[in-house]
């Protein structure tokens, strides 16, 4: 079965702006809809022979089931570039991107020629094929949405992907226009995480250089080693750097055992202390970054504060996560005392299929068994993945912003409203609450109280007053685009 597909996107920006963005590192990460897969390695469109590696999500699985995909760039011209599938589900896949100028706009035409065997095999670059059998046949059924994998079915899926890409790229180009400035060098710790990948891609999409701190082997010129447990760090990473973003920390989406709680606390406070003290010493020597943007969370405010409008000048609340956030933010003090501009990003509940609580709950919602926890009246201050990434870049670029800032959408919702909106975006019913023992089994009793049952009505006013423009200010729209509705 062979097919040809084309899609033309229209961007209200000049040709050079659009073409340059597509050629920069991070473009593939930013252009890939979250429900369509994840990028492990970006290729270089201007370097034939370079390889991009992604995991491509099967339709109707919301990113939960994926197939490996490798694309090799094969040709690069002034106004076009081409890649072909080196490994993946097709026996032929050739994708050409062509750029042309219109009146105060740029047109990008994506032309795809594909071929797939009737049994939907996995094809390798060596010409070998593996026929999907057993459990794989279920994936074939999912791919076709209950119908045979036909050319029209594939084209419908491609239409959804490229429509979503056009929307996100348009938003990114507008974002880059707002933050246009001389190229900066930004150091990022925690760049391999869900948020870190998007922050890095937004920065490089704007023409900035990103250096990353890594705990493992250094594999590229922009990677530098560090070991926060021992306090060791390759200080060459800070030479000529303008800013530091710290996103590191052990996941809180786990059982709140004594051992896990210790790891959650120490991974944040210890690493932040190392970075803050290093910045303070470099500042005293007249060098190093002058901006330190460090993660925190709305958990700072404690568990049951849904009846208060929580602004950044309000005191911390009670509970384990409140204590973690207090110590986390306090660990930045050496840098602040040295005159470094410090911003503590108090993150709300990130709504993304790529990670966090939404991803954990998706199987329930997708099968019509999802719901809210408890009475559903707890207030949940949420944020989209695009916006949490945008807020970090905004914090780096906005000289007037300092101290804690709530990274939340303007309109928080109750847990019941959030669950029903997820169900509506998935076109699945949501009628009943989830029994409390469900989150307790996953997170432990304390973890369920701290995460699933916490109520925090955090204000976005300071963020808005600083000039931030949201990618996704409304929950329903954010979830529809996150879940491919």
Please write the tens of the pLDDT for every residue from 263-302: 999 999 999 999 999 999 999 999 999 999 999 999 999 9
Q: pTM to 2 decimals? A: 0.93
Of the candidates 299, 185, 302, the residue with the CA atom closest to the CA atom of residue 245: 185
State whether 169 and 188 are in the same domain: no
Counting residues of the chain whose pLDDT is more than 70, the rounded percentage is 93
Q: Which residue has the higher pLDDT, 263 or 254?
A: 263
State whether 336 and 470 are in the same domain: yes
State whether 167 and 219 are in the same domain: no
State whether 305 and 246 are in the same domain: yes
Task: Count up the domains in the chain and report the number.
Answer: 2
Separation of alpha carbons 1 and 207, rounded Å? 41
List the beta bridge partners of residue 225. Answer: 214
Which residue's structure tokens are 């911390």? 316
Show the tokens assigned to 140.
Answer: 């074939």
Q: Which residues of 389-414 are buried (b: 16+ CB within 10 A; e: fewer)?
A: bbbbbbbbbbeebbebbbbbbeebbb
Which CATH number goes with the domain that contains 415?
A: 3.40.50.720
Does residue 308 register a pLDDT over 60? yes
Mean pLDDT of 194-204: 97
From 149, 176, 203, the end of a domain falls on 176
Strands 403-407 and 455-458: unpaired
Please write the tens of the pLDDT for every residue from 127-140: 444 444 333 443 44
Question: What is the DSSP secondary structure assignment for residue 299, as one 8-state letter?
Answer: G
State whether 244 and 393 are in the same domain: yes
Please write the tens of the pLDDT for every residue from 109-168: 999 999 986 544 444 444 444 444 333 443 444 344 444 556 788 899 999 999 999 999
State whether 112 and 209 are in the same domain: no
Separation of alpha carbons 442 and 190, rounded Å? 25
Separation of alpha carbons 1 and 338, rounded Å? 65
State whether 152 and 191 are in the same domain: no
State whether 155 and 222 are in the same domain: no
State whether 200 and 347 are in the same domain: yes
From 146, 176, 206, the end of a domain falls on 176
Mean pLDDT of 298-317: 95
State whether 188 and 119 are in the same domain: no
Give yes or no for a contact between 16 and 79, defined as CB atoms under 8 angstroms apart. no
**DSSP code string of 331-352:** TTHHHHHTT-EEEEEEE-EEEB
Question: Mapping DSSP to helix (H, G, I), strand (E, B) and coil, where does residue 232 land?
Answer: strand
Please write the tens of the pLDDT for every residue from 436-480: 777 777 788 888 888 889 999 999 999 999 999 999 999 999 999
pLDDT of residue 130: 42
Range(s) of the domain holding residue 25: 2-176
State whether 72 and 7 are in the same domain: yes
From 152, 176, 200, the end of a domain falls on 176
Give yes or no for a contact between 205 and 172, defined as CB atoms under 8 angstroms apart. yes
Counting residues of the chain whose pLDDT is more than 90, the rounded percentage is 76
Which CATH number goes with the domain that contains 72?
A: 3.30.530.20
Cα 417 to Cα 382, 390, 437, 461, distances in angstroms: 12, 25, 21, 22
Of the candidates 416, 272, 417, 414, the residue with the CA atom closest to the CA atom of residue 343: 272
Mean pLDDT of 198-226: 96
Cα 231 to Cα 226, 240, 264, distances in angstroms: 8, 21, 17
Mean pLDDT of 55-69: 85
State whether 167 and 204 are in the same domain: no
Separation of alpha carbons 323 and 317, rounded Å? 8
* Average pLDDT score over the chain: 91
């Amino acid at each position: 079965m062979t097919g040809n597909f084309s899609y033309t996107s229209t961007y209200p920006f000049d040709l050079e702006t659009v073409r340059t963005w597509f050629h920069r590192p991070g473009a593939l990460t930013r252009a890939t809809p979250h429900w369509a897969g994840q990028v492990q390695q970006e290729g270089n469109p201007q370097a034939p022979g370079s390889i991009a590696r992604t995991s491509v999500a099967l339709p109707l699985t919301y990113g939960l089931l994926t197939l490996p995909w490798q694309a090799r760039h094969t040709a690069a011209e002034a106004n076009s570039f081409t890649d072909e599938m080196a490994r993946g589900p097709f026996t032929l896949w050739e994708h050409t991107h062509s750029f042309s100028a219109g009146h105060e706009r740029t047109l990008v035409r994506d032309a795809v020629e594909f071929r797939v065997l009737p049994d939907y095999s996995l094809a390798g670059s060596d010409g070998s094929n593996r026929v999907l059998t057993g459990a794989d046949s279920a994936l074939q059924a999912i791919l076709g949405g209950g119908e045979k994998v036909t050319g029209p079915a594939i084209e419908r899926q491609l239409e959804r992907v490229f429509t979503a890409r056009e929307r996100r790229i348009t938003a990114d180009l507008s974002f880059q226009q707002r933050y246009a400035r001389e190229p900066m060098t930004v150091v990022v710790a925690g760049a391999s995480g869900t948020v870190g990948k998007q922050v890095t891609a937004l920065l490089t999409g704007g023409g900035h250089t990103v250096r990353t701190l890594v705990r493992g082997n250094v594999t590229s010129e922009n990677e530098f080693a560090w070991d926060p447990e021992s306090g060791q760090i390759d200080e060459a990473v800070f030479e000529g750097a303008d800013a530091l973003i710290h996103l590191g920390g052990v996941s809180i989406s786990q059982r709140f055992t004594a051992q896990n709680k210790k790891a959650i606390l120490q991974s944040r406070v210890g690493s932040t202390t190392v970075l803050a003290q290093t910045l303070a010493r470099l500042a005293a020597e007249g060098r190093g970054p002058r901006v330190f943007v460090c993660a925190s969370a709305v958990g700072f405010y404690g568990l049951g504060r849904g009846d208060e409008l929580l602004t950044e000048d309000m005191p911390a609340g009670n509970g384990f996560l409140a204590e973690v956030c207090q110590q986390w933010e306090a660990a930045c003090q050496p840098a602040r005392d040295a005159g470094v501009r410090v911003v503590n990003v108090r993150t709300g509940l990130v709504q993304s299929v790529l990670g966090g609580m939404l991803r954990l709950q998706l199987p329930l919602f997708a099968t019509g068994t999802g719901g809210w926890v408890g009475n559903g009246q707890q207030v949940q201050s949420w944020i989209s993945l695009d916006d949490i990434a945008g807020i970090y870049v905004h914090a780096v670029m906005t000289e007037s912003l300092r101290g804690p800032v709530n990274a939340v959408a303007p309109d928080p919702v109750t847990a019941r409203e959030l669950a029903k909106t997820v169900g509506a975006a998935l076109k699945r019913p949501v009628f009943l609450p989830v029994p409390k023992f469900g989150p307790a089994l996953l997170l432990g009793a304390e973890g369920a109280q701290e995460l699933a049952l916490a109520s925090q009505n955090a204000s976005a006013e300071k963020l808005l007053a600083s000039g931030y423009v949201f990618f996704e200010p409304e929950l329903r729209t954010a979830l529809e685009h996150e879940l491919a509705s």
